[in-house]
Copies of this chain bind each other. A is one copy, B any other.
Amino acid sequence: MNDPKPEPTNPRIAPPARVDGTDAFEPTESPQLRAFAPLCSVFRRFLKSRDLKYTQERADVLDAIIARDGSFEAEELLLDLRARGHDVSKATVYRTIRLLLDAGIITQSLFDAKQSHYELIYGREPRDCMVCMKTGRRIEFTNRELTALRDRICRELGWQAVGHRFQIFAVSPPDDPVV
């Protein structure tokens, strides 16, 4: 459709935080390099490994995800894309999301049963969250202790941790202090 973007897009990629236990990528790079590599080339590599194509639309979708700072719903993405003049169809958005999930670049985080929330995880630390059951307020945080506990649990069972999802259901105090 319009403006071709080779592969600039790469905001705040964090240091290695994800053990890639899946067979998603060709094992030709060090984990270091992989974690710091721009997401679009990670995605491109994933696609190539499956003989799939890196199309304009797929690049646009990934771009929109990054612009959202990693947390989004399918519908939001669709609107964002439309607003930017990148007209990608709903079907393609969903198809691309599926690929990004397979690639381990994003995860699905379901809060309300309504629609899926997705989140960029590749190269980022896992985000844990706490939801107030009265007000619905959500706080996100990263807890290294939790990640360590997760790894310990896995190790004891001989599994290898890839990621996790932690949600606390709680009640915020009446005054509801902002964190």
List residues of chain A with CB under 8 Å of any chain B CB.
21-23, 107-108, 110, 113, 116, 130, 132-134, 139, 141, 143, 145-146, 149-150, 153-154, 157-173, 177, 179
Judging by beta carbons under 8 Å apart, are B153 and A143 in contact?
Answer: yes
> Shortest beta-carbon distance, A131 to chain B, in Å?
9
**Known interface pairs A113-B108, A133-B21, A134-B22. Does A165 touch B167 (Cβ–Cβ under 8 Å)?**
yes
Contact status B21-A171, CB under 8 Å: yes
Q: Which of B110, B132, B149 sits near A110, CB closer than 8 Å?
A: B110
Counting every copy of the chain, the complex holds: 2
Is A171 in contact with B160, judged by CB distance below 8 angstroms? yes
Residue of B nearest to A152 (CB): B145
A134–B134 alpha-carbon span in the complex (Å):
37
Whole-angstrom distance between the Cβ of A162 and the nearest chain B Cβ: 5
Q: Are A166 and B165 in contact (CB under 8 A)?
A: yes
**Shortest beta-carbon distance, A143 to chain B, in Å?**
7
State how many angstroms separate the Cβ of A1 from the closest Cβ of chain B: 22
The CA-CA distance from A165 to B130 in the complex, in Å, is: 10
6 contacts between A and B (CB under 8 A): A21-B134, A21-B171, A108-B113, A130-B154, A154-B170, A160-B173
